[in-house]
A and B are shown apart, each in its own frame.
Chain A
Amino acid sequence: GAVVSQHPSWVICKSGTSVKIECRSLDFQATTMFWYRQFPKQSLMLMATSNEGSKATYEQGVEKDKFLINHASLTLSTLTVTSAHPEDSSFYICSAPRTNTEAFFGQGTRLTVV
């Protein structure tokens, strides 16, 4: 079946550094991918829509200069958390739709900023 692979599954970084998270669709092409953020015991909150070959669309309140998204190919989107701070610590999840209704999620990335 279709699989979306997210890497790394966890990362610890120092405050002020940047972290890149990758999201790959393994057996289908995705012109659109989605990035979510999830705090403990809360639901998934959409951060941005990643569009292959064009700029990402960010949800209200999400800093585009803080969370850089690149969708350079039909199977890869990356989220870079720039100048990370402890408040950026969270669980980040990507999703790629194979059809208009069928979406697959990555395994998630646990980011801890110390």
Chain B
Amino acid sequence: GESVGLHLPTLSVQEGDNSIINCAYSNSASDYFIWYKQESGKGPQFIIDIRSNMDKRQGQRVTVLLNKTVKHLSLQIAATQPGDSAVYFCAEKDSGYSTLTFGKGTMLLVSP
């Protein structure tokens, strides 16, 4: 869903469902994208990345899709588990620069 004010959009799913988390990025020059998982009170953890010359990349239970035309990134988590509950951030990077720009984040809540 859309973020309202300072509140993170939340996705609530049942254990075993597939989850899809979306992200719109802003810089058309970005050529590298990463998904991070952040659990409460911890730093972000790398999940999966994708370069702009690809439109799909799969990892273990996760898939990232990139649509450069509309500047959209998605993270699909298969067979979501309670341990997947966290805030998920997309980040974009222009290889000409060293800094990452983070998206707003989505909170994923998985019910047993």
* Chain A residues within 8 Å of B, Cβ to Cβ: 4, 6, 32, 34, 39, 41-46, 49, 91, 93, 95, 97, 100-108, 110
Contact = CB atoms under 8 A, between A and B. Distances in A.
The 4 closest A-B CB pairs, nearest first, are A105-B43, A108-B43, A43-B102, A44-B102
A43 B41 contact: no
Contacts, number: 56
**Overall SS of chain A's interface:** strand
B12 interface: no
**For chain B, which range describes its interface: under 10, 10 to 19, 20 to 34, or 35 or more residues?**
20 to 34
Q: Give the interface centre of B7, B36, B102 by most chain A CB atoms within 10 Å.
A: B102
Contacts of A32: 98
A101 B98 contact: no
A43 B89 contact: yes
B44 A93 contact: yes
B42 A107 contact: yes
